[in-house]
Amino acid sequence: MRSIISKKKIFLLLGILSVWLLFFKSAAWSVQNSLELHSGTVKIIRTGKSQILQKAGKTYSLSANDRLQTGENTQVTLYLNDRDNMVKLFSHSFFKLDDISEQENNVALFTGKANFSVKPLPGSSGAGEDESKIGKKDKATARELKDKLGGDLKGSLAKLGKSKLSRKKKRFKVRTVSAVIGVRGTKFVLATGSFSPNRADLLVLPEKEPGTKSEATLANTKLSEYEEKVGPGEVSRVVEDRGPTVSVTISPEEIARIAEADGPDSFQGVEFGLSESIDSIQERQRREDETPRFDEKIDAEDEFLEQLDRLEELETVVSNAENAIDSAKSKILILSMTFTNR
């Protein structure tokens, strides 16, 4: 009898503990992700119900899959991952929180304008320097491997630095109706849906801290693996059925105007670079069989460096074998001279 009562108590305690853990997890999520209204109005749509926020200066909690719609003359800041990442929404914006976790943030801007600030990954402040070193190493090792293989270096290895195909996973992604923006740590401005919902404009803000590397990528949702890298002070655009425009640098005055402007028309008057149609890009990719395919899972750079490592290992084996042969020849010669003297 006592045993039955004890089991009931244990199950009851486990149930209470499970409910408490669920509540604690939900509360922790709310603490890490919040909204602060600076001016105007914002509507939060959650699980089919909506709430209008109008009290400036107040902070509200956010949940996954929340949708936010800002009114006229509105500015609101979203703090994600305990303020590691921030999003400032402007007037007439429609925004959604897709997947928010410590490892990755996925959000959507369907219309409007937003300023983003994404914290770099640990140790990524020198990412630009590391990539530069890798680039130099690629050129040197390419020449070395080309000489050792009799000059026959073809295919994707030869065009490694020219491909726009994405290779690195992004920790922060923003999607619009027509575009996908990938970020590993930078500040940027995104506007969409002003004259057309199928257009997205991207500006990467200049670096203010020395040693940091700001960079984002822009791609059309119809060809998300074909990306354009956008650096500090550069802009790029995606429109329906076309790839991203070639990134171009704009003036400090234009940068300031875009960053401070309210609403999705902030990029009006900016001269963007040239772009290529999706059909043309796909046709060119089919013709150029040496270009890595979209379904290629092996990173060309890693494969390239792996071949060099194998070549170095082979050279070491050959060198050791030659030394062993030379040593054996010396011993034979010594023995021969010894027997001759006798």
Three-class SS string for the chain? CHHHHHHHHHHHHHHHHHHHHHHHHHHHHHHHCEEEEEECCEEEEECCEEEEECCCCCEEECCCCCEEEECCCCEEEEEECCCCEEEEECCCCEEEEEEECCCCEEEEEEEEEEEEECCCCCCCCCHHHHHHHHHHHHHHHHHHHHHHCCCCCCHHHCCCCCCCECCCCCCEEEECCCEEEEECCCEEEEEECCCCCCCEEEEECCCCCCCCCCCEEEEEHHHCCECEEECCCEEEEECCCECCCCCEECCHHHHHHHHHCCCHHHHCCCCCCCCCEHHHHHHHHHHCCCCCCCCCCCCHHHHHHHHHHHHHHHHHHHHHHHHHHHHHHHHHHHHHHHHHHC
- Tell me the per-residue pLDDT of 298-325, one tens digit each, with 9 for 90 and over: 555 566 666 666 766 667 766 776 777 7
Which is more confidently placed, 275 or 311?
275
Same domain, 274 and 313: no
Q: Is residue 134 part of a domain?
A: no
pLDDT at 160 over 60: no
Q: Is residue 147 part of a domain?
A: no
The SS3 of residue 83 is coil
Q: Is residue 149 part of a domain?
A: no
Q: Is residue 153 part of a domain?
A: no
**Binning pLDDT at 50, 70 and 90, where does residue 193 land?**
confident
Same domain, 162 and 47: yes
Q: Is residue 137 part of a domain?
A: no
> CA 311, CA 300: separation in Å to the nearest integer?
16
Q: Is residue 142 part of a domain?
A: no
As for how many domains the chain has, the answer is 3
Check residue 141 and give its pLDDT: 46
Q: Which helix (H) or strand (E) covers residue 2, if one does? A: helix 2-32
- Whether the model pTM is above 0.75: no
Same domain, 112 and 165: yes
Q: Position of tokens 């996925």? A: 106
Same domain, 315 and 205: no
Alpha helices in 190-299 (DSSP H): 252-260, 278-287
Backbone angles phi, psi at 272, to 5 degrees: -90, 165
Same domain, 237 and 255: yes
Same domain, 118 and 176: yes
CA-only gyration radius of the chain, Å: 29
Last residue of a domain, one of 287, 308, 331: 287
Instruction: Choose the weakest-confidence range: 90-104, 149-163, 192-206, 308-322.
Output: 149-163
Same domain, 26 and 122: no
Which is more confidently placed, 288 or 181?
181
**Binning pLDDT at 50, 70 and 90, where does residue 189 land?**
very high
- Tell me the per-residue pLDDT of 220-270, one tens digit each, with 9 for 90 and over: 999 999 999 999 999 999 999 999 999 999 999 999 999 999 988 899 999
Domain carrying residue 19 = 1-31
Residues 6 or more apart whose Cβ sits within 8 Å of residue 255: 203, 205, 206, 233
**Of 110, 60, 116, which Cα lies nearest the Cα of 87?**
116
**Residue 242, domain CATH:** 2.60.120.1440
Q: Is residue 201 part of a domain?
A: yes
Same domain, 6 and 82: no
Tokens of residue 157, six digits: 């290895």
Same domain, 21 and 39: no
Same domain, 94 and 10: no
Same domain, 315 and 334: yes
> CA 287, CA 298: separation in Å to the nearest integer?
20
**Binning pLDDT at 50, 70 and 90, where does residue 116 land?**
very high
Strands 172-175 and 105-117: parallel
**Binning pLDDT at 50, 70 and 90, where does residue 152 land?**
very low
Bridge partners (DSSP) listed for residue 70: 42
Q: Is residue 151 part of a domain?
A: no
Same domain, 4 and 116: no
- Tell me the per-residue pLDDT of 62-73, one tens digit each, with 9 for 90 and over: 988 999 999 999
**Binning pLDDT at 50, 70 and 90, where does residue 341 land?**
low
